[in-house]
Amino acid sequence: MGKGIALQFKTAFPHNFEVYKKACRERDTEIGKILAVTDRNLLLCYKLILNFPTKTHLRLSSE
């Protein structure tokens, strides 16, 4: 998560990024498995964020 929409999303929903980063570090993500996270945006509105992993490794192409 370093450019464009990914960076904007990381900035707007920092808790989601931390949960996603932890799940990746613990190898708890896989293609087809949804990672659901509740987070607040900058306006303090709660959002349900659904993360859909599309890669098995950062350097591989999306499946």
In angstroms, rounded to a whole number, what is the distance separating the alpha carbons of residues 13 and 42? 8
Quick one: tokens of 36? Answer: 């659901």
Domain positions in the chain: 4-51
Q: Choose the catalytic residue: 21, 22, 47, 55.
A: 55
Are 11 and 17 within 8 A, CB to CB? no
Tell me what pLDDT residue 12 has.
85
Q: For residues 5 and 22, give the distance between their C-alpha atoms in angstroms, rounded to a whole number.
A: 20
Residue type, 15: H
Structural tokens at position 61: 């192409």
The pLDDT score that the predictor gives to residue 15 is 92
Q: What is the per-residue pLDDT across 2-59, written as a single tens digit (0 to 9) for each? A: 578 888 988 888 899 999 999 989 988 888 899 999 987 767 788 899 998 887 776 7
Say whether pLDDT at 62 is over 80: no
Residue 1 has pLDDT above 60, yes or no: no
Give the global pTM. Answer: 0.72
Tell me the two tokens of residue 4: 């464009």
21 counts as catalytic: no
